[in-house]
Structure 1
């Protein structure tokens, strides 16, 4: 897979954004001393 193909693949980009959102949410929750499921409400941009 070339960089141009990855740049053009919007579903991959959305998956990366979702991963970043989940990580940021997990950091906030952990720092607050809470443990809960992360990423609720994020839509999977492509079928697995």
Structure 2
């Protein structure tokens, strides 16, 4: 088995996936908060 060497793996795909996930979660949270604010305004 090959010896593991720290820092040599290409992680660009993982970084892109993580960035996309963070954008999705952030936008989802914003949509939910805006929806809750609108519901609060409509129901007075």
Same fold (TM over 0.5): yes
Structure with the bigger percentage of helix: 2
Structure 1 gaps of 5+ residues are 35-48
- Equivalences for 1:1-48 in 2 at 5 Å? 4=7, 5=9, 8-33=10-35
- 1:1-48 Cα offsets, whole Å, 9 max, x none, are 87622xx311110000000000100010000117xxxxxxxxxxxxxx
The structure-2 alpha-carbon separation of the partners of 1:2 and 1:19, relative to structure 1 and needing over 3 Å to count, comes to farther
What TM-score comes out, normalization by structure 2 length?
0.57
Equivalenced residue count is 32
C-alpha root-mean-square deviation of aligned residues, in Å?
Answer: 2.4
Structure 2 gaps of 5+ residues are 37-44
**Computing the radius of gyration over CA atoms, which structure comes out larger, 1 or 2?**
2
Higher relative contact order (CA 8 A, sep 6+): 1
